[in-house]
Homo-oligomer: A and B are copies of this chain.
C-alpha cells in the first residue's frame, strides 16, 4: 500500500495556516510530480476528503474529514474527565492550561477559549510536535525508546528534528537525555523551545499505567522563573494524577 503514503503526504500539506492550496503548491511541498498529485487530488475529491471551490480553483480539506474527526472526538472521554481539574489548575496557577490527547501515535492538543470569556467552546484542535512542547515531552518521557522514536519519525525531518526557535532541541541524543530527566522528576519543561518567550510545564496523564494524554501550564518566560517551575510542576502533576484517577473509575 505504497500509494497511501503519498495520499497522506498530500493531506499533510494542509495546515491551520495553509488551508487552501493549488495543485502546483502541493506538488512543490510533497516533491511529487504534478501528474501524480493530480491523480491523488482527483481521488481525494471523489471520496470527499477534498473539495474544490470552483472548477479550477484551489483545494480545501472536505467536511468529511471533520465528520471523521467528530467520531474520534466522541471516543475521547479524557476531555470530559479533565474539564473540572483543568479549571481548578487554571485558577490555582493563574496561567493558561493546555490539554493533549495521545493515541499511541499522535499528540493532539485541544484548546479551549480563555477562561475569562463566558463561553468555553473548543476553538482549536491541533497536532503538536512532541519534541518541543511541555505536553509532548511529558508523553515522550513515559515511552520506550522505540515508541518515542516512532513518534519522532513521523515529524518532517531532514536529519535533525524540526526547529521552531533558538532553544528547540533538534538533536535526538540531547532530547533523549532531557527525557530521562523528565521521567525521573515526573514533569517536562518547555523552555521557549516551541515559541520563543513562552515557557511551559507539563505532566503525563495515565490510565491503567498507560499514557493517554498530558496537561500543562503555559505562559510568558518572565512569569516562569526557574524557581517557580517546581511549584507549578507540583500543581500540574497533582492535576494529572487527579484526571488519571477520574479516568480509572
- Shortest A17–chain B CB gap in Å is 9
The residue among A14, A44, A122 with the most chain B CB atoms within 10 A of its own CB is A122
Q: A174 on the interface (CB 8 Å rule)?
A: no
**A90 contacts across to B, CB distance below 8 A:** none
Whether A67 and B106, one on each chain, are in contact in the complex, defined by CB atoms closer than 8 angstroms, is: yes
Docked complex Cα distance between A60 and B77 (Å): 14
Known: A4-B7, A5-B47. Contact between A71 and B19, CB under 8 A? yes
Cβ contacts A1-33/B at 8 Å (1 or 0 each): 101110110010011100100000000000000
- Shortest A63–chain B CB gap in Å is 4
Find residues 53-70 in chain A having any chain B CB closer than 8 Å to their own CB.
60-70
Q: A125 on the interface (CB 8 Å rule)?
A: yes
Cβ contacts A74-109/B at 8 Å (1 or 0 each): 110000000000000000000000000111111110
Whether A125 and B73, one on each chain, are in contact in the complex, defined by CB atoms closer than 8 angstroms, is: yes
Whether B4 and A46, one on each chain, are in contact in the complex, defined by CB atoms closer than 8 angstroms, is: yes
- Shortest A53–chain B CB gap in Å is 8
Which B-chain residue is minimally distant from A15 (CB atoms)? B71
Whether B65 and A65, one on each chain, are in contact in the complex, defined by CB atoms closer than 8 angstroms, is: yes
**A112 contacts across to B, CB distance below 8 A:** 121
Whether A68 and B70, one on each chain, are in contact in the complex, defined by CB atoms closer than 8 angstroms, is: no
Whether B16 and A74, one on each chain, are in contact in the complex, defined by CB atoms closer than 8 angstroms, is: yes
Cβ contacts A102-145/B at 8 Å (1 or 0 each): 11111110001000001111101111000000000000000000
Find residues 30-51 in chain A having any chain B CB closer than 8 Å to their own CB.
39-40, 42-44, 46-49, 51
Cβ contacts A210-227/B at 8 Å (1 or 0 each): 000000000000000000
Docked complex Cα distance between A110 and B14 (Å): 22
- Shortest A187–chain B CB gap in Å is 22
Whether A51 and B126, one on each chain, are in contact in the complex, defined by CB atoms closer than 8 angstroms, is: no
Docked complex Cα distance between A124 and B74 (Å): 7
Whether B124 and A67, one on each chain, are in contact in the complex, defined by CB atoms closer than 8 angstroms, is: no
Q: Enumerate 15 A-B pairs (CB-CB under 8 Å) in ascending A order.
A: A1-B3, A1-B43, A11-B68, A14-B71, A16-B71, A48-B154, A51-B105, A62-B72, A63-B101, A63-B108, A66-B69, A66-B125, A68-B69, A70-B124, A73-B125
